[in-house]
Structure 1
Amino acid sequence: MLKELLIKCKVAEIMVKILEAEEDRRVVYPSMIAKEVNLPLSYVSKILSELERFAVIESEFEGRRKILKFTDDGRKLAKKIKDLLKILEFDFLSRSKISKLKEIYDKSSKDFRSLAGILAEVERLKCSEDLKVLREVKKLEKKIWKAISDERRN
């Protein structure tokens, strides 16, 4: 089944590389894809043959070179896979933590003692690679420092 073929990570990576090359208007060759995904050409060729068998990609020869391109449905599928891979890169644990920290902040008395613990946890989240988490960390950190500053003035 096609589904079983696509859940393999290397297949998804190969499809995304072909998609990115097409989006950059580059001609796609099996050897180029093998080099970009750092896999043996024989293995990549086997995967490409399966993708062609399922009408995800098509190939034609230009001289001695085999040129690859997606079918219309294959391109749609590759775009969905690329979107899914982006989602899988999210830092779900950090997203959950920042959400809880915002709730704790909102319910806190805004004094230094209660904010110091939140601030320490916010600092730990700064190592996340998830851009949404980093944006939320920045916003919450700004609120905390403002509350600390306001408390000191009073």
Structure 2
Amino acid sequence: MKKIRGFTLLEAVFAIAVTIACVQILFGLVSTLRKINHQKSGVNEITYSYVQVNNFLKESGHVEVSRTGSDPTKVLLKKLSNKKKKNGDPIYDIYAIDVSPNDTLRMRTDEGGHMPLLFKVKRIKCSTTDDSFTILVTENDGRQSEMFFKTNLPKEKKELKDDKKESKKS
């Protein structure tokens, strides 16, 4: 009779143990890569929302913070419109940055439209000065980011009249 050589029971158990260890390492690596990818996408979303608001402030002409309407849950911005009232006073378009009921940081108008800025927001804390505002965002997963924006100083009535005179001269 020929003797058939094969694996011993000890060698088979050792091979299975090595295979299980490799699979656990692989799952741990995949889990770590998923977390890293989630964190990177969060940073990209925060950056995107910052760029959107910053572009709005730069491209809209004169935008100032409404200190009376803003509170820790929202920031109100007043954009100087090209239109004037009959008495010559300026007209401001009002924009609000707040969190919608479906946990989305958004910029909206009182007339109805809104632009989503950041999804999965747990809460925001806003603070304002005469020429800037800060938004501290806490996301549903606990991450926090702070966005700081510079705006124009509020125009005094005298400045508005001076602007009106200059536009008539030109």
Task: Report the TM-score when normalising by structure 2.
Answer: 0.30
Higher helix proportion: 1
Higher strand proportion: 2
Larger Cα-atom Rg: 2
Bigger relative contact order (CA 8 A; separation at least 6):
1
Task: Report the TM-score when normalising by structure 1.
Answer: 0.32
